Chain A
Amino acid sequence: MTIQDIFEETYSSLTVNKVRSGLTILGIVIGIGSVIAMVSIGQGAQGSIESSIQSIGSNLLLVMPGAQRGPGYQVSSGRGSAQTLTQEDADAIIKQITLAQAIAPEISKRYQVVARGTNTNTQVVGTVQSYPQVRNIQMEQGSFITDQNVLSLSRVVVLGPTTRDDLFGEGSNPIGETVKINGIDFKIIGITKSKGGTGFGSQDDMIFVPLKTAQKLLAGADYVTTISIQVQDQNSMTTAQEEVTNLLLERHRISDPQLADFNVLNQADIVATASSITGTFTMLLAAIAGISLLVGGIGIMNMMLTTVTERTREIGLRKAIGAKKKDISIQFLAESVMLTFSGGVAGVLFGWLVSLAVTQVTGIATQISSSSVLLAFGVSAVIGIVFGYYPARRAAGLNPIEALRYE
């Protein structure tokens, strides 16, 4: 029996009962389709989370304050409470650590911001000229804070696009106008470009003021809350992380790294953590969808067993005219693989449509990877073989005499 013969025999036997074949295929379509759709939603979510983390800058190390501890005491006043990071620390890092390409210290705090009667509560970031480079921010209008602004304690402000929309209305151009932060007037000199991302911690809902201005006029203190460091390249992230840690430990005169009053976060670690969370989420969705695939496979087996019983006489005849066990089992296996494979093709299309619809309706980004499509085809073929094996063996094992007599 050539491949073409097998294909023709299979096609003609499956088209004999089109409704039944169609319904059985439908089970596989739904199974494969939901796996594809679920995985695409999961991977889309993963992609958008990763890109929003990436959008805060590339090859980024973040030095954050840790817990302040009194000398000699094991009492911690809580993570993030330390006020020991300073501008001098930042200067030392850029001077002594060659892997650090650029550095941007910042002090941030939420304030009520007022403009012409409207007001909003937003994150006010006091920072320096290099911040846009390090944190990957581009300007939509005007210019960013300069080092000159920082030195001269200028009362200038750069708005994030969301804050601009909140205060002055969408798409307006408020450059040259003033806003009041904490009762002090600031002149607007620029608007940053939107980076996307919504909700708490959005990079668009922020306003920027010169670092010294924020320290002296708003916070009334000299510490910084975060130092962002841009590292040369991705491979030197870990080395740079260690060097920064050692430098700061030395500067803060802390001998036990366990007691450090700061944390150095590696952007790659953050991405990895977020990816592992969304990866687990994707697996969970796929597993639930996989159950429907299993049910579809059982449907295939059910149909094939019924078919073998119905076609007992045909099997007997085929054996009488010279078909071997192998020929019969290949024919029935081919039928179940053809069912699941065509179900797989339709299922990929169906899953693709579902994920398109999800993107249309909910706005969640979805992403169909070629690996999930290949996997779906592989899985559907394997299901055909696994669930077709038993019926095919049953058919092949029939005694031709009894099969011919079967009523």
Chain B
Amino acid sequence: MIICESITKVYVNGDVETPVLKDVSFEVKHGEFVAIMGPSGSGKSTLMHILGALDTPTSGTYRLNGHDVSKLSDDELADVRRDKIGFVFQSFNLLSRATVLRNVALPLIYAGVPKTKRNSKAEKALIAAGLQEDHWLHLSNQLSGGQMQRVAIARALVNDPALILADEPTGNLDTKTGEVVLGTFQELNRTNRHTIVLITHELYVAEHADRIIHIQDGSILEDIRNHKKRVVRMHTSL
């Protein structure tokens, strides 16, 4: 599903070369829930950008579903993001003056899904993300943080992506709400077999995944199965 082989990323600023990722190789199988964990400056954000087809590696190959994504043009990368990847960001990034449904349906506009099918797809995604129906027509700036993140999760799900990339999804939430959001990811992973990659700097958050890849100074420090998985039991509504 995801195959990374000897990925390096070097930022060049004038004469100064800063290596951010050094020879990173790993695989993620379909239906896995993986946490990539590391302190700030470890290179985990850069790795997330490469996995999310927002950026390309300096060398090495990145295969997503068998396709080499590491040497594509900007517009081809946009197609990969549109068809295969769903993003969930720390700061939600919703259109504040648009309704929940419109926010969720936004990726479908670029995917060329006909207007008549958009709402039903968006509603399906919102149900999967666990946001109650009475919020669907609210403007997104009328929601609480946890509800906003559920809208963002629904938006990531709406086009049925191969991979969901969550970048510090609990960073702007309190512990309890964050717990519920993590529970939502577990639920999606368990029932729908969605492949999820979660990027975080907190061990506590990472421990909600099945596998933890620990990154430090641009290299993989350890890649372990998480035997102490914290399962969120109650799938409470927000």
The residues of B that contact A322 with a CB separation of less than 8 Å are: 78-79, 81-83, 107, 110-111
Whether, in the assembled complex, B89 has its beta carbon less than 8 Å from a beta carbon of chain A, the answer is yes
Q: Which of B21-29, B34-42, B92-100, B121-129 contacts A (4 or more CB under 8 A)?
A: B92-100
Counting CB contacts under 8 A, is B49 at the interface? yes
Tell me which residues from 273 to 332 in chain A have a Cβ below 8 Å from any Cβ of chain B. 313-314, 316-327
- Which chain B positions have C-beta within 8 A of A314? 93, 95
Interface assignment of B75: CB less than 8 Å from any CB of chain A? yes
What A residues does B155 contact at CB under 8 A?
321
- Minimum distance in angstroms from B28 CB to a CB of chain A: 20
Q: How far is the CB of A3 from chain B (nearest CB, A)?
A: 12
Known: A320-B52, A323-B78. A12 touches B87 (CB 8 A): no
Interface residues of A, CB < 8 Å — how many?
24
Q: Is B74 an interface residue (CB 8 A)?
A: yes
Chain B CB count within 10 A is highest, among A9, A317, A323, for A317
Contact of A321 among B81, B97, B112 (CB under 8 A): B81
Distance, CA A5 to CA B82, complexed state (A): 17
| Interface status of A401 (Cβ within 8 A of chain B) | yes
In the complex, chain A residues whose CB is within 8 Å of the CB of B93 = 313-314, 316-317, 320, 404
**A47 close to B (CB within 8 Å):** no
Chain A CB within 8 A of B109 CB: yes
| Among A1, A12, A325, contact of B110 (Cβ-Cβ < 8 Å) | A1
Minimum CB–CB distance for B47 against chain A, Å: 12
Given contacts A321-B106, A322-B107, A322-B110, contact A401 B55 (CB under 8 A): yes
CB contacts (< 8 Å) of B97 on chain A: these are 12, 16
B78 and A319 contacting across the interface, CB-CB below 8 Å: yes
Q: Which residues on B sit within 8 Å (CB–CB) of A4?
A: 115
| Any A CB within 8 A of the CB of B54 | yes
A18 to chain B, nearest CB (A): 11
How far, in whole Å, are A82 and B220 apart by their CA atoms in the complex? 111
Contacts of A22 in B (CB 8 A): none
Main secondary structure of the interface of B (DSSP, over half): helix
CA gap between A313 and B95 in the complex, in Å: 10
Q: For the complex, what is the distance from the CA of A313 to the CA of B97, rounded to whole Å? A: 14
Bound-complex Cα distance A319 to B55 (A) = 12
The interface residues of chain A lying within 8 Å CB-to-CB of B106 are 318, 321
A318: chain B residues at CB < 8 Å are: 106, 110
Does A400 reach chain B (CB closer than 8 Å)? yes
Please tell me if the beta carbons of B109 and A5 are within 8 angstroms of each other in the complex: yes
**Closest residue to A320 on the B side, CB-wise?**
B87
Q: Of residues 40 to 90 in B, which have CB atoms within 8 Å of A's CB atoms? A: 49, 52, 54-55, 74-75, 78-79, 81-83, 87, 89
A111 to B101, CA, bound (A): 88
> Min CB distance, A301 to chain B, in Å?
24
- Report the bound CA distance from A321 to B87 in whole Å: 7
B140 to chain A, nearest CB (A): 12
Interface centre among A1, A316, A400 (most CB of B within 10 A): A400
Query: Which of A317, A320, A321, A326 has the most chain B CB atoms inside 10 A of its CB?
Result: A321
B107 touches A321 (CB 8 A): yes
* Chain A, 6-25, CB within 8 A of any chain B CB: 9, 12, 16
User: Which chain A positions have C-beta within 8 A of B87?
Assistant: 320-321
Interface centre among A4, A316, A320 (most CB of B within 10 A): A320
**Do A320 and B95 have beta carbons less than 8 Å apart?**
no
Interface centre among B74, B75, B102, B109 (most CB of A within 10 A): B109
> What 1/0 mask marks residues of chain B from 141 to 166 whose CB sits below 8 Å from any chain A CB?
00000000000000100000000000
- Compute how far the CA of A296 lies from the CA of B49 in the bound complex, rounded to whole angstroms: 41
Contacts of A16 in B (CB 8 A): 97
Asked if A325 and B75 make an inter-chain contact with CB atoms under 8 angstroms apart, the answer reads yes
User: Are the CB atoms of B110 and A327 closer together than 8 Å?
Assistant: yes
For the complex, what is the distance from the CA of A404 to the CA of B83, rounded to whole Å? 20
Select A401's contact among B54, B75, B82, B112, beta carbons within 8 Å. Answer: B54
Residues of A within 8 A of B52 (CB): 320
Q: A2: which B residues are within 8 A, CB to CB?
A: 115
When chains A and B are docked, how far (Å) is the Cα of A317 from the Cα of B95? 9
Q: In the complex the two chains form, is A401's CB within 8 Å of B110's CB? A: no
Q: A1-B110, A401-B49 are in contact. Are A321 and B82 (CB under 8 A)?
A: yes
CB distance from B20 to the nearest CB of A (A): 12
* Bound Cα distance A401, B20 (Å): 15
Indicate if the CB atoms of A400 and B54 lie closer than 8 Å.
Answer: yes
User: Chain B contacts of A12 at CB under 8 A?
Assistant: 97-98, 102
For A313, the chain B residues whose CB sits under 8 A away are: 91, 93
17 A-B pairs with CB atoms under 8 Å apart are A1-B109, A2-B115, A5-B115, A12-B97, A313-B91, A317-B89, A319-B81, A320-B52, A320-B81, A321-B81, A321-B110, A322-B110, A324-B78, A324-B79, A324-B110, A401-B49, A401-B54
On B, residues with C-beta under 8 Å from A are 49, 52, 54-55, 74-75, 78-79, 81-83, 87, 89, 91, 93, 95, 97-98, 102, 106-107, 109-112, 115, 155
Closest A-B pairs by Cβ, 3 of them: A322-B82, A321-B107, A317-B93
Given A314-B95, A322-B78, A325-B78, 17 other A-B residues pairs in contact with their CB atoms under 8 A: A1-B112, A2-B115, A16-B97, A313-B91, A317-B89, A318-B106, A320-B52, A320-B54, A320-B93, A321-B155, A322-B82, A322-B83, A322-B110, A324-B78, A327-B110, A401-B54, A401-B55
